[in-house]
Structure 1
Amino acid sequence: MASGTLYTYPENTRAYKIQIAAGYSGTQLTVVQDPPAFKLGETNKSAEFLKKFPLGKVPAFENGSGTTLFESNAIAYYVSNEQLRGTDDLSRAQVQMFVNLADNEIEPAASTWVFPTLGVVQYNKQQTEKAKESLKAVLSFLNEYLKTRTFLVGERVTLADISVGCQLLLAYRQVFDVNYRKAFVHLNRWFVTFINQPEVKAVIGEVTLCEKMAQFDAKKYAELSGGGGSGKKEKKQKEQPKKAEKKPEKKAKKEVVEEDEELPPPPKKVDPFEDCPKSDFDMDAWKRCYSNNDTNTVALPYFWEKFDREGYSIWHCEYFPLSYLADNMVFQTCNLVSGFYQRVDKMMKHAFGVMLIFGEDKSTQVQGVFFWKGKSLIFDRNPDWAVDSPSYKWTKLDPDAEETKEMVKKFFNGEGDFGDLTVNQAKVFK
Structure 2
Amino acid sequence: MHHNKQATENAKEEVRTFLVGERVTLADITVVLEPSFCQAFPNTNRWFLTCINQPQFQAKMAQFDAKKFAESQPKRDTPRKEKGSQEEKQQPQGERKEEKKAAAPAPKEEMDECERALAAEPKAKDPFAHLPKSTFVLDEFKCKYSKGDTLSVALPYFWEHFDKDGWSLWYSEYHFPEELTQTFMSCNLITGMFQRLNKLRKNAFASVILFGTNNSSSISGVWVFRGQELAFLLSPDWQVDYKLYTWRKLDPGSEEAQTLVREYFSWEGPSSMWANQGGIYKAARQSGARSV
**Normalization by structure 2: what TM-score?**
0.57
- The corresponding residue for 1:401 is 254
Give matches, 1:14-93, under 5 Å: none
Structure-2 change in CA distance of 1:285 and 1:347 (3 Å): same
Structure 1 CA distance for aligned equivalents of residues 161 and 44 of structure 2:
34
The answer to whether the aligner puts 1:385 opposite 2:244 as a matched pair is no
- The corresponding residue for 1:239 is none
Q: Which structure would you say has the larger RCO, counting Cα contacts within 8 Å and 6 or more residues apart?
A: 2
* C-alpha distance after superposition, 1:141-188 (max 9, x if no partner): xxxxxxxxxxxxxxxxxxxxxxxxxxxxxxxxxxxxxxxxxxxxxxxx
8 Å contact 2:203–2:225 — kept in the other structure? yes
Cα offset for 1:280? 2.1
Structure 2 CA distance for aligned equivalents of residues 314 and 227 of structure 1:
30
Structure 2 CA distance for aligned equivalents of residues 312 and 395 of structure 1:
15
Structure 1 CA distance for aligned equivalents of residues 227 and 141 of structure 2:
17
Structure 1 CA distance for aligned equivalents of residues 150 and 166 of structure 2:
23
* C-alpha distance after superposition, 1:206-225 (max 9, x if no partner): xxxxxxxx99x985997433
- The corresponding residue for 2:12 is none
Structure 2 CA distance for aligned equivalents of residues 421 and 222 of structure 1:
34
Structure-2 change in CA distance of 1:300 and 1:221 (3 Å): farther
- How many residue pairs get aligned? The number is 184
Which runs of 5 or more residues in structure 1 are unaligned?
A: 1-213, 236-264
Structure 1 CA distance for aligned equivalents of residues 243 and 155 of structure 2:
29
Structure 1 CA distance for aligned equivalents of residues 171 and 44 of structure 2:
20
- The corresponding residue for 1:225 is 42
Structure having the higher Rg: 2
The answer to whether the aligner puts 1:316 opposite 2:171 as a matched pair is yes
1:415 is aligned, of 268, 271, 292, to 268
Structure-2 change in CA distance of 1:294 and 1:308 (3 Å): same
Give matches, 1:257-406, under 5 Å: 267=122, 269-325=124-180, 328-406=181-259
Which runs of 5 or more residues in structure 2 are unaligned?
A: 1-25, 32-36, 53-119
8 Å contact 2:210–2:220 — kept in the other structure? yes
Structure 1 CA distance for aligned equivalents of residues 249 and 266 of structure 2:
20
**Normalization by structure 1: what TM-score?**
0.39
8 Å contact 1:227–1:388 — kept in the other structure? no
2:239 maps to amino acid: A
Cα offset for 1:232? 6.1
2:132 maps to amino acid: P
- The corresponding residue for 2:72 is none
